[in-house]
Chain A
């Protein structure tokens, strides 16, 4: 087999406000980089083909599927992952809302939902039903049947309004 030049690249990212510099093969996916290289294991892998949304993080404020991004594509970007939501063990209001509405069961898809909802509420602090569904349509949950997740969004929205 021919030798392929797949030199590792230096990837500089800021994640949850912390600067990192690490090395990655170009083919390393962003989610694998976050989990294995940076030790941020709160973001989960569910399908590796961009459908389930478990790997959703924010890149420069926008929700993205980190399983279908390469780590090198995030060079220079500011990322937010679920680890960045709570501070000193204090749950973020969206996380509190999930707890109240029983919006999670196994919890594996939850970090992806949290990041999606974080983006939604930043953009649209008082979303209607259709807007909520439109935002959540790209995250799969196998446990809850979604009803309590939608309720969590509404609780979080109402709370930040008051």
Chain B
């Protein structure tokens, strides 16, 4: 069957689009608002026990012995597991690159503070925690390695002795004539940057309820899983059982942002269940556990970047050198974050040549995890800083500097030097809109007036590309990813009352996907969103899927829904045309009816066609199955393997945004106040503008946190100093400014309905925008902030340095 997926709203079989692209209220909301949604901690199963985990207090230590005998005696304790159990029952987690994974419980040594060493299943979490205190672990502390530069040197303590090095990845990419560009440049600007660890911290931590069935030898896990099918496969491989003996049930979860984590908790609870003879075991990660050992930390980076520029401001080359401290293992797949910048390495700019030196190193810190953006946020911060540096050096207005270098609107599809292809865009239009909505010239005048009054005010104007629709292909440069493109499947069915059910494989985590599925199906089948139910299936029942991640669902999920809908549409036409005596080629499906193309009054309504298919086999074309349902699995086309320089079409869509931020710095306290914030954003067709704006604002909030407040700090011995919400500062309503947003629409020619992925959006842009504004504010003082977050202490030190320097001169 040839499947035709509409590429724009007017290709939908409706004469009036009533639902898609409208900001309708979400179908998920009533249940969430009334507290009825079944987050994982709501689940109770008969005989269920509770797990507590003993974490290593050392960042690097040999485990000499683990004595659990006293813990086992505590009334209420049913089972205890240690590394010994992990060793006999599981394989180490697979990583990319290969060889940097361990088991869920430390066996020979602990490699980071917080690494699980033992675990208890008891009748309550309270008792389980009491039992932890009765476990005796003898550690032999080893010299810790916490500095990534030191970790690269010969003679450094090794996190994985068997790998004989701490360097996980060391690669250089050269795209185009980079050396030539730099040799021939009129100006070369070089700068170093430091981006400190930040991470997802959804308000709900990871949770899981696992059950091992000793008779069937199956594993069932309920949990707040992101990417359930992939998690399930991982569990099967690690426990050495066939994949069809593992069933994961994904529960709606309280946010994820990539950093939900959960691999270790899942394995540990499975082992505990096994040890109890098959009782369900629940583990709810507490906040401290999440922060030290969960999916909590990302992007511990040191950058050096250079820009080659002509005197007129044209950028001819970009070089970026990255040292990425990944922490103790590759279990979080955070190495991918170092490679994702390839998808938008040169941002919105037509820079013809670029180079990337990427070094990823292991240290005795919490293993890095994914976080919204998956690598581009720090990279884009660096790129935008370099553009500002060049603009300042050449005395060009920063907005002008961007414009001069934009990929022109008629150049799409555009292949950037690092190999990805941008589908469409009109960056000039986005910038025009931003400058207009912000009244840019007046803001600059306001800035002058403020400066004359002695106030330290700055304006940042930055742009970004958001790569959308995550695919695996380029990551094969890091190791075997097991493939190239990522699937998303949906089964659609229509019942005798014309109600529509969509069966998906992922659970909600906040991005409103079930709502846009309902919107699309409502327009497609002339129904209302209330007629549609979206149901999440477990991993053994669901069609192949990945779920949310990498800004893919607007495209991938709508592709799956539209694909399945088209298959049903074709069947409706085949049957409906026959029922009203038409040749199939003379009939069409529009506005919920099958009708003659040349006589719209000759028609049969959906309900009657469905009824016939389900119950009147005598009226059907021979061989027609008596069912109105279809499964379609969408995947991005043309995702080939990368060449030796990592080049390939990777992320299918390129949304773009321009942000303008105005800040004021209190030079005496170093505190940064955001005065104004404007966003012009183009993510193609918006399936639900309210959802898009909400995701943008959420990205702004996380961006504000990254730029000003959030930081995982370690001491020299690898001890985490910021393990609670008292120290890791998440922005509140007081710290996140409301923003003014304006939407542009340059549809994608490649996607269902012309949508583009945008979920990670503002996270790519906001940190860059705030830092740009801060540096604009500081520039009259002759100092610049190159470290993120720009805390009051750091800003003050810069200002002090400037004041001392001016005293000396």
Using a CB–CB distance below 8 Å, which chain A residues touch chain B?
Answer: 1, 25, 27-28, 35, 41-49, 51-52, 54, 81-83, 85-86, 89, 91, 95, 98-100, 102, 104-111, 114, 132-133, 136-150
Contacts and interface: CB of A to CB of B under 8 A. Distances in A.
A46 B204 contact: yes
B254 A107 contact: yes
A86 B37 CA distance: 14
Contacts of A85: 34
Size category of the binding interface on chain B: 35 or more
A46 B694 contact: no
Contacts of B202: 106, 108, 142-143
B206 to A, nearest CB: 12
Contacts of A111: 35
Interface stretch (B91-99, B507-515, B586-594): B507-515
Contact of B30 (A45, A99, A147): A99
B702 A142 contact: yes
A47 B694 contact: no
B701 to A, nearest CB: 4
B34 A83 contact: yes
A142 B732 CA distance: 9
Nearest to A27: B126
Given A106-B252, A145-B739, 8 more contacts: A41-B41, A42-B36, A48-B286, A107-B28, A108-B202, A110-B32, A138-B732, A145-B701
A150 B315 CA distance: 42
B126 A145 contact: no
A139 B725 CA distance: 12
A106 to B, nearest CB: 3
A28 B126 contact: yes
Contact of B34 (A95, A133, A148): A95
13 contacts: A35-B42, A42-B35, A85-B34, A95-B34, A99-B25, A99-B33, A106-B252, A107-B33, A137-B732, A137-B734, A142-B701, A144-B697, A145-B736
Contact of A107 (B32, B126, B691): B32
Nearest to A29: B126
A98 B35 CA distance: 13
Contact of A102 (B255, B691, B725, B734): B691
B709 to A, nearest CB: 12
B39 interface: yes
Nearest to B726: A51
Contacts of A81: 35
A40 B252 CA distance: 18
A136 B736 CA distance: 12
Contacts of B28: 107
Nearest to B509: A106
B733 interface: yes
Contacts of B36: 42
By CB atoms of chain A within 10 A, which of B29, B33, B699, B702 has the most?
Answer: B33
A42 B34 contact: yes
Contacts of B702: 142
Contacts of A105: 255, 510-512, 694-695, 698
A158 B630 CA distance: 46
Contacts of A25: 126
B188 interface: no
Contacts of B39: 41, 44, 108
Given A41-B42, A104-B33, A133-B733, A109 B25 contact: no
Given A44-B204, A142-B702, A82 B34 contact: yes
B23 interface: yes
Interface in B705-745: 724-726, 730, 732-734, 736, 738-739
Contacts of B379: none
Contacts of A145: 694, 696-701, 736, 739
B693 interface: yes
B384 to A, nearest CB: 21
Nearest to B725: A51
A148 B733 CA distance: 11
Contacts of B37: 107
Nearest to A129: B738
A147 to B, nearest CB: 4
B22 interface: no
A95 B42 CA distance: 21
Interface in B257-281: 257
B292 to A, nearest CB: 14
B253 interface: yes
Contact of A104 (B32, B253, B733, B736): B32
B25 A45 contact: no
B265 to A, nearest CB: 16
Nearest to A130: B734
Contacts of B603: none
B739 A147 contact: yes
A148 B694 contact: yes
A22 to B, nearest CB: 14
B685 interface: no
Contacts of A45: 41, 284
Given A52-B203, A91-B30, A47 B287 contact: yes
By CB atoms of chain B within 10 A, which of A43, A138, A141 has the most?
Answer: A141
